[in-house]
């Protein structure tokens, strides 16, 4: 699942289809997330915490596209959460070139050192 804002629990559409977007409808041996985002969600209510933790624990592998998604879901799983390289590159694109300010470089260096190219991530999960 993923590569889009499918984990935005602040939006009714994503909550209505949560079993699909969080993979709890599927066999856990075949569920992995690839670069989903929490979008505008800023916190997880107490009533949502348990099913999110269960959904994450049932995933074979988890990756996210941004820091806010990582920070929001990390407290609910002990599994490793990976960042996708392609999404980090996209964050800094301007006029077809990747540009980093010194502040950007410092902020993202620690996170992106663990990022994984999509092909490598998919091979790892196979």
| Region of 89 on the Ramachandran plot (φ > 0 left; ψ -120 to 50 alpha; else beta) | alpha
Give the pair of three-digit tokens for residue 59.
Answer: 């995933």
| Cα dihedral across residues 80, 125, 111, 21: positive or negative | negative
| Bridge partners, residue 64, by sequence | 83
All structural domains of the chain with their residue ranges: 12-125
Q: What was the pLDDT predicted at 75?
A: 93
Name the residue with higher pLDDT: 25 or 118: 25
* 78 pLDDT above the threshold of 90: yes
Q: What is the pLDDT of residues 22-74, one digit of tens each?
A: 888 887 677 888 888 888 888 888 888 888 999 999 888 888 888 888 899 99
pLDDT-based confidence at residue 97 (cuts at 50, 70, 90) = very low
């Amino acid at each position: 699942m993923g590569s889009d804002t499918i984990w935005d629990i602040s939006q009714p559409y994503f909550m209505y289809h949560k079993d699909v977007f969080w993979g709890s409808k599927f066999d856990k041996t075949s569920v992995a997330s690839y670069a989903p985002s929490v979008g505008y969600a800023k916190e997880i209510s107490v009533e949502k915490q348990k099913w999110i933790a269960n959904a994450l624990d049932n995933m074979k592998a988890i990756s996210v596209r941004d820091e806010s998604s990582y920070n929001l879901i990390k407290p609910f799983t002990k599994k490793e959460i990976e960042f996708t390289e392609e999404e980090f590159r996209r964050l800094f694109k301007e006029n077809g070139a990747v540009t980093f300010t010194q502040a950007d470089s410092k902020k993202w260096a620690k996170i992106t050192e663990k990022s994984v190219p999509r092909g490598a991530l998919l091979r790892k999960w196979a």
